[in-house]
Structure 1
Amino acid sequence: MAKPLKICVCGGGKSAHVMAIMAASKPDVEVNVLTLYKDEADKWSKAISKDEMVLILKDEDGKTSEVKAKPSVVSKDPKSIVPESDLLIFTVAANTHEEYLKAISGHLHKKIVVVGLPGLPGFEYLCKSSFGELSEQITVMSFEISPWVCEIIEYGKKVEVTRTAKSLNGSILRGKAIPRKPALMSLQMTLGFDPALKQVKHFAELLFTSYTFFNPVIMYGKWKDWDGKALDCEPLMYEDITEETAKLLESCSKEYQDVAHAISAKKPEVDLTEIPDIFNWVVEFYKKEIEDGTSLLKAIQTNKVYKGVKHIMKKNKRTFTPDFECRYLAEDIPMGMVVVRGIAETLELPTPTCDTVIQWGQEKLKKKYLVDGKVAGSDVKETRAPQRFGFTTLEEILSGQKTDS
């Protein structure tokens, strides 16, 4: 009898709940959950000791269906779960990826597949640098965004998905060891029909198509001239963006494309020339949710998925101030924009608009990434920029590995 596909879901949040139920509901799949936080592990373990978990799925017409299943084990101990796993799926926030990689590093085997769902730019660099002697053996997959818009209704028991992406681009950086079961096919099987997983030609494509400038630019547009006074309500994040902010988004998108095209000019075998700009990506990805796709501004303002979404704020009694430590800056800048900026620096390409946003963001975060126009600040060690890993050539950037000099 064939051994079941063994999946380890890393994380204790809402996406981990969805992934655990989806995978556990499939035949011949064994699912375990690793969360490094004891309170989460204990609470989730207690919940599944009594009942199966419930996943509520809402379709495009608002109709709901339920999936019932549960993981076999929820634990904070990597050595009890990781060594037997075929797929290790990261559903945690990008700024905790490194914490998980450190925890699992001594328990990996060469045939395991590590998946970022999503990974964000530089995920491959971070993984390879954490694998030690297995760095050339292990296969790494990374996807552009999370497949789901979801919320936990009751921890360890019930979660609801209100939107599932129809398709999702992902990359595969294959290791020398052959996984026990095909990586992409196995992940698709656990997810079901939606989203349809599409493999891009080279992992570098996801460095640019994750569009990590999107939320930082919107925050910059809203708060760059803020006078420091508290607000009476939480402002809308997307529906209230201005034409000026839309133009900044287009400018950053152009700079991302310039870097991608420069790579292809030097390495024609890495074809990044068809990467869509931010306008075409938004219109295509959200084509059924956008009411007016005549411009980027209108596409964002009339996107039903963005309707009612507010800026992340800090509440003080009845007033609100912007939370500059939120994930839109704390993740998307060091694990996104700075990565692309670092590649641009290697290629000696200017990125003035991205630089402006990064410099504003690092000030709000009290970090130093860019110093005197170089990715050389004291906090580069917390980013995924190629400079952190000692990459000095395009060849190293495209392989995800430091070459011996």
Structure 2
Amino acid sequence: KAKRCTMVTFESLPWACRLIEFGKNVEILGFKDTLGASLLKGKECNLTKPIIETTQYILGEKPKVRHVQNYIAITLMAKSIVHPPIMYGKWSQWDGKPLSEKPLFYQGLDERQAELLSGVSDECVATAKAIEKKVPGLDMSDVIHVFDWYLNYYSDQITDKSNLMMAMRTNKAYDGLVHPMKEIEPGKYVPDFTYRYMAEDVPEGIVPMKGIAELAGVSTPYLDEVITWCQGKLNKEFLVGNKLTGKDLKDTRAPQKYGYNKLEDLFTGSFEVTPR
């Protein structure tokens, strides 16, 4: 059946948004200007409607849906790279004492958190460049640094574009968004490491990125550092040293989980990697 299907994947959500009432009400805090999408087309799939255009119709005028050549680029572009480095940078030195208020997440970014995020992004860009050299005909140019991504996607909502830290701190779409916290008693808060920023963005986001980098032969010291701390908070083992050989790799979406142990494995099968 998979041969007759086409999978569409997006690099991010179309908006910065938060749930108000489940199934009824969502607050949209800001629109992205553009949104990358890739298609993984089964070789026996005959599309009857234009997917990108149909998606654009559903979303409306913004964001502008942009066709990205292949799904590996989308995976390395995914904005799941943002949350884990910030969580690590914020809480790795925490003394364990409850806070009296919830700290700002994006707009509370400091230099250390920005360095970690930038370092992880550098490694994703390096991975994309390495893959492009090794796989003929593959276009990985859509994989850009996260700072450039913010300037492109939130151009009219950022007031200080001097560097990554200030771009995130002055992004109006992030006004008031705080760290995921648990209230352990009235007015006392501790970080919630079970929130999706960790529970989803690590095994389904940065671990797959690490897996792709590993297949491409790219060193990832920043990713390794972030994953090592995060997996401890999740009580999981994905990374052993700097290799994805942990006992809980089965709980991730890393390519190694599926038996993909060579770079070329990502580009073979009953599908078209770069459908047009």
Q: CA deviation at 1:198?
A: 1.0
The aligned counterpart of 2:241 is 372
Change (3 A) 1:237 1:401: farther
Instruction: Confirm whether residue 333 of structure 1 aligns to residue 202 of structure 2.
Output: yes
Q: CA deviation at 1:242?
A: 1.3
Q: CA deviation at 1:190?
A: 2.4
Greater relative contact order (CA < 8 Å, ≥ 6 in sequence): 2
The aligned counterpart of 1:291 is 159
Q: CA deviation at 1:237?
A: 1.0
Instruction: Confirm whether residue 345 of structure 1 aligns to residue 222 of structure 2.
Output: no
Question: Greater Rg, structure 1 or structure 2?
Answer: 1
Post-superposition Cα deviations, 1:212-234, rounded to whole Å, max 9, x if no partner, equal: 22111111111010111111111
1:7-22 to 2 correspondences below 5 Å: none
Change (3 A) 1:274 1:206: closer
Give me the whole-angstrom Cα distance separating, in 1, the residues matched to 2:168 and 2:235.
30
The aligned counterpart of 2:111 is 243
TM-score normalised according to structure 1 size:
0.63
Decide which of 49, 57, 60 is 1:181's aligned counterpart.
Answer: 49
1:307-318 to 2 correspondences below 5 Å: 307-317=175-185, 318=187
Q: CA deviation at 1:400?
A: 6.6
Q: Given that residues 33 and 155 in structure 2 are in contact (C-alpha distance below 8 angstroms), is that contact kept between their aligned partners in structure 1? A: no
Instruction: Confirm whether residue 225 of structure 1 aligns to residue 99 of structure 2.
Output: no
Give me the whole-angstrom Cα distance separating, in 1, the residues matched to 2:53 and 2:9.
14
Letter in 1 for 2:229: W
Q: CA deviation at 1:271?
A: 1.7
Which runs of no fewer than 5 residues in structure 1 stay unpaired? Answer: 1-133
Give me the whole-angstrom Cα distance separating, in 2, the residues matched to 1:296 and 1:209.
16
Give me the whole-angstrom Cα distance separating, in 1, the residues matched to 2:145 and 2:201.
18
TM-score normalised according to structure 2 size:
0.91
Change (3 A) 1:272 1:234: same
Indicate the SS of the match to 1:171.
Answer: strand
Identity percentage of aligned residues = 39
Which runs of no fewer than 5 residues in structure 2 stay unpaired? Answer: 272-276
Indicate the SS of the match to 2:3.
Answer: coil
The aligned counterpart of 2:138 is 270
Q: CA deviation at 1:174?
A: 1.0
Post-superposition Cα deviations, 1:230-254, rounded to whole Å, max 9, x if no partner, equal: 1111111122221122112111111
Change (3 A) 1:138 1:362: same
Q: CA deviation at 1:327?
A: 0.6
Q: CA deviation at 1:297?
A: 1.2
1:97-116 to 2 correspondences below 5 Å: none
Q: Given that residues 211 and 253 in structure 1 are in contact (C-alpha distance below 8 angstroms), is that contact kept between their aligned partners in structure 2? A: no
Change (3 A) 1:297 1:164: closer
Q: Given that residues 181 and 192 in structure 2 are in contact (C-alpha distance below 8 angstroms), is that contact kept between their aligned partners in structure 1? A: yes
Instruction: Confirm whether residue 167 of structure 1 aligns to residue 25 of structure 2.
Output: no
Post-superposition Cα deviations, 1:330-375, rounded to whole Å, max 9, x if no partner, equal: 1111111111111122222210111000000000000110123221
The aligned counterpart of 1:357 is 226
Decide which of 73, 81, 89 is 1:205's aligned counterpart.
Answer: 73
Q: Given that residues 204 and 398 in structure 1 are in contact (C-alpha distance below 8 angstroms), is that contact kept between their aligned partners in structure 2? A: no
Indicate the SS of the match to 1:334.
Answer: helix
1:124-135 to 2 correspondences below 5 Å: 134-135=1-2
Indicate the SS of the match to 2:80.
Answer: coil
Indicate the SS of the match to 1:179.
Answer: coil
Q: CA deviation at 1:136?
A: 2.2
Change (3 A) 1:309 1:161: closer
Letter in 2 for 1:343: I
Give me the whole-angstrom Cα distance separating, in 2, the residues matched to 1:400 and 1:308.
45
Letter in 1 for 2:128: A
Give me the whole-angstrom Cα distance separating, in 2, the residues matched to 1:255 and 1:183.
31
